[in-house]
Amino acid sequence: MLIEGESGTGKELVARAIHLNSPRRHQPFEAVNCAAMAPTLLESELFGHVRGAFTGADRDRPGRFELADGGTLFLDEIGELPDGSQSKLLRVIETGELRRVGDIKDRKVNARVIAATNKKLAEEVGRARFREDLYFRLNVLKISLPTLRERPGDLRVLAEYFLKQFAEKCGRPALRFEADVWPVFEGYPWPGNVRELRNAIERMVVMAEGDALRLEDVPFEIRSGKGASRPAEAAAPAALADEPATLRDLERAHIARVMQRTAGNKKEAARVLGIDRSTLYAKLKAYGLETEKDGGGKDEG
């Protein structure tokens, strides 16, 4: 089975839903990102290895295929799979047998394979970047996921769902969207799809004051998106409209606000800001946001 769609459209969620609504639902679901590993490590991850197969292989280890036996193996970003690994994957799918790296015997395995990609695999085959035989083997059933901008009717439903989810996660009372947020949301193209919407709302919940998410809580890149229907002045935060500020002042205020919303938890603040903790430490020091009283805030995790 093959699932195609842009990044952030929910391909893994669809794969999990297929698994949970099938006779295999009580068996394992294993997920592997084919683009996240070096080719040598990827084969060990998929097929396993035996002791002594390579430096550091101090024991036998089953791969994801064996761990998913009886269940489902989800291969994300299948278009990034190296050619050599593609041929081995095809053999396992067709024969139901695999050989661990460094082993001399085959092992039976029964795992359903669901592959996903943000590429058009048919075009990759035409460019000789993906094996044609593997493509046809995976393409027995294909699901093409639409982008978020192609299903505007889902936007409010998803946004309200994520708002409730993150309000509960952050221990906030019931929150709501102010009416002027919706035209900006609906005018933005959402290149990151559902994942981008989810992350934006999580950030808004962390930053928002009071019981409503306002226009000024919407991330700047979304407010200033080319799909926004209001002038730039109206989309800017009130503080900017009243008095110009330097980028340094804006960054300092933003970091201070995030630190307040995360109760001084630097790990969480760095995640919300999209920077690593060492960068956050440096900025806190540079902006004088660390205090002797709190030692610069909590650093949990």
DSSP per position, 34-103: TTSS-HHHHHHHHH-B-TTSSTT--S-B--HHHHTTTSEEEEETGGGS-HHHHHHHHHHHHHSEE--BT-
**Does the CA dihedral 197-143-16-7 come out positive or negative?**
negative
Of 143-147, 232-236, 269-273, give the lowest mean pLDDT range.
232-236
Per cent of the chain over pLDDT 70 is: 89
Chain centroid, CA 73 distance in Å: 18
What span, in angstroms and rounded, lies between the C-alpha atoms of 281 and 229?
Answer: 38
Say if residue 214 is in the same domain as residue 291: no
Q: Distances from the Cα of 102 to the Cαs of 66, 106, 169, 291, in angstroms? A: 16, 11, 46, 56
Same structural domain for residues 159 and 227? yes
Q: Which residue has the higher pLDDT, 289 or 45?
A: 45
Write down the pLDDT at residue 289. 82
194 and 207 in a single domain? The answer is yes
Torsion, Cα 78 79 83 89, to 10 degrees, reads: 20
- 86 plus 113 within the same structural domain: yes
**The pLDDT value given to residue 293:** 38
What is the average pLDDT score of the chain? 86
The answer to whether residues 273 and 139 belong to one domain is no
Per residue in 37-87, pLDDT tens?
A: 887 789 999 999 999 988 888 899 999 999 999 999 999 999 999 988 999
Question: Smallest Cα–Cα separation from 73: which of 59, 93, 50, 49?
Answer: 93
**SS3 state of residue 108:** strand
pLDDT at residue number 236:
38
Tokens of 170: 């952050």
In a 3-state reduction of DSSP, which class is residue 174?
Answer: coil
User: What integer pLDDT is reported at residue 245 of this predicted model?
Assistant: 58
Strand bridging mode 212-213 / 112-117: unpaired
User: pLDDT grade, residue 283 (50/70/90)?
Assistant: confident
Give me the number of domains the chain comprises.
3
Domain boundary among 239, 258, 283: 239
Asked whether residue 15 falls in the same domain as residue 127, the answer is: yes
User: What's 167's domain CATH number?
Assistant: 1.10.8.60
> Both 251 and 211 in a single domain?
no
In this structure, the answer to whether residues 277 and 249 fall within a common structural domain is: yes
- Same domain, residue pair 232 and 294: no
Q: Do 161 and 30 share a structural domain?
A: no
Nearest to 213 by CA among 243, 239, 184: 184
Most confident residue range from 14-18, 31-35, 260-264, 294-298: 14-18
Say yes or no to pLDDT of 146 above 90. yes
Tell me: do 44 and 153 sit in the same domain.
Answer: no
Question: Tokens for 207?
Answer: 């930053």
Instruction: Using a pLDDT cut of 90, give the percent of the chain over it.
Output: 62
Q: What is the CATH number of the domain that holds 296?
A: 1.10.10.60
Cα separation, 118 vs 144, in Å, equals 10
Per-residue model confidence (pLDDT) at position 242: 43
Q: How confident is the model at residue 275 (pLDDT cuts 50, 70, 90)?
A: confident
Residue ranges making up the domain that contains 186: 149-239
Please check the confidence at residue 100 and state whether its pLDDT lies above 50.
yes
Structural domain ending residue among the three candidates 118, 145, 172: 145
- Model-wide pTM > 0.85: no
Residue 90 has pLDDT above 80, yes or no: yes
| Statement to judge: residues 182 and 226 lie in one domain | yes
